[in-house]
Amino acid sequence: MKGNKAFQFRMYPDDEQKTMFAKTFGCVRFVYNKMLEDRIDHYQKTGKNRKTTPAKYKEEFPFLKEVDSLALANGQMNLETAYGNFYRGKGKIGFPKFKSKHRDKDSYTTDWVNGNIAVADGWIRLPKVGRVKIKQHREIPDGYRLKSCTVARTPDRKYYVSVLYEYEDQIPEHKAESATGLDFSMKELYIDSLGNSPEYPKPYRKAQEKLAREQRKLSKCKRKSNNYYKQRVKVAKIHRKVANQRKDFLHKQSRQITNAYDAVCIEDLNMKAMSQALNFGKTVADNGWGMFVAFLGYKLEEAGKKLVKVDKWFPSSKTCSVCGRKKDDLELSERVYVCECGNILDRDVNAAINIRKEGMRILGMA
Which 3 state secondary structure label does DSSP give 110? Answer: strand
- Reply yes or no on whether 104 is catalytic: no
Of the candidates 72, 68, 86, which has an alpha carbon nearest to the alpha carbon of residue 28? 72
Among 106, 111, 267, 286, the one annotated catalytic: 267
Among 68, 106, 111, 183, the one annotated catalytic: 183
Which 3 state secondary structure label does DSSP give 147? Answer: strand
- Reply yes or no on whether 66 is catalytic: no
Burial grade of 5 (CB within 10 A; 0-12, 13-18, 19 or more) = middle
Side chain identity at residue 324, one-letter code = G
CA atoms of 40 and 132, how far apart (whole Å) = 39
CA atoms of 76 and 78, how far apart (whole Å) = 5
Q: Which residues contact 70 (CB under 8 A, 6 or more apart)?
A: 110, 111, 113, 127
Backbone angles phi, psi at 157, to 5 degrees: 65, 35
Partnered with residue 181 across adjacent β-strands are 265
Side chain identity at residue 134, one-letter code = I
Which segments of the chain are extended strands (E)? Answer: 2-12, 106-111, 118-120, 123-126, 130-135, 145-153, 159-168, 179-185, 189-192, 263-267, 306-310, 336-338, 344-346
- Reply yes or no on whether 38 is catalytic: no
Distance of CA 146 to the CA centre of its chain: 21
Of the candidates 191, 197, 125, which has an alpha carbon nearest to the alpha carbon of residue 161? 125
Among 106, 111, 348, 358, the one annotated catalytic: 348
8 Å CB contact between 33 and 201: no
Query: Helices marked H in 174-288 — which ranges?
Result: 203-220, 226-260, 271-278, 281-287
CA atoms of 33 and 52, how far apart (whole Å) = 12
Active site residues: 183, 267, 348
